[in-house]
Amino acid sequence: MSTVTLSMGKIVALIIIAILASSAVSIGASTILAAGPEGPEGPQGDQGIQGQQGLKGDTGDTGPQGPAGATGLQGEKGDKGDTGETGATGAQGPAGTATRYVIEGSFNITQNGELIKNVSAPDPILYHWKRIDVPQITLSDMPSVQVYVKTYFHNGTTSANESATVPTSTVFWRDVGVTFGSITEDTGLVLYDEGCVYIFYKSVYDSNVQYAMTGDYKIVVVK
């Protein structure tokens, strides 16, 4: 039988290897024993903060427009309704309280008037107005007054006798509010004063006399 002789250095080396191997086995067993069985799943953690929104993409091209729809049919216009009947005439209102007065007469047109206007340029001409009493006229409460005169159709002659004696001349009643064209239009053919009117009736230029009326008058007052 052969004898294996080991040196002291080898013996020490073998002892160290044995110790290291024993430690590795012990650590492995400890690790296995420490892990143990897997436990139940723990609760879910809080949700993290949402990240920033990404950039918006470019808008796509607009699609082609569709065809227009068909126009609906227009309904027919209805017939016009009949006109309603005319209502009955209302009752007549009460009569007015105004009174109508008529003052009429005649004066001599060859005489001078109570009111004379002397126009000296370019030549002296005298214009004559006749004063007629009309008691119904009050300037503070002026009534409705209308003056009518009778005049020859040729509207004036060259002499007083001719105006008074020509039977073939046509005469008319006229509203003196309608002027016949003379300087008296600047003053007025009829002038009103308290309780009277003045009626223009002639103009005198040297020996030439022109008459605007025959001297007959009618004055209608409503008050």
In the chain, where the domains are located: 100-222
193 to 117, 118, 138: CA distances (angstroms): 17, 20, 8
CB under 8 Å, gap of 24 or more: what pairs does 115-123 form?
115/191, 115/198, 117/184, 117/187, 119/183, 123/205
Residue 1 CA to chain centroid, in angstroms? 146
Residue 77 pLDDT class (50, 70, 90 cuts)? confident
Q: What is the pLDDT of residue 86?
A: 84
Identify whether the C-beta of residue 211 lies closer than 8 Å to the C-beta of residue 109.
yes
pTM score: 0.50
Say if residue 172 is exposed, middle or buried (CB neighbours under 10 Å; 0-12, 13-18, 19+): exposed
pLDDT tens column, 107-158: 999 999 999 988 876 778 899 999 999 999 999 999 999 999 988 765 444 4
pLDDT tens column, 45-67: 677 677 677 677 777 787 788 78
223 to 96, 97, 138, 220: CA distances (angstroms): 11, 9, 10, 10
d(CA 197, CA 203): 18
Residue 182 pLDDT class (50, 70, 90 cuts)? low
Radius of gyration of the chain, Cα coordinates, nearest whole angstrom? 68
| % of residues, the chain, pLDDT over 90 | 26
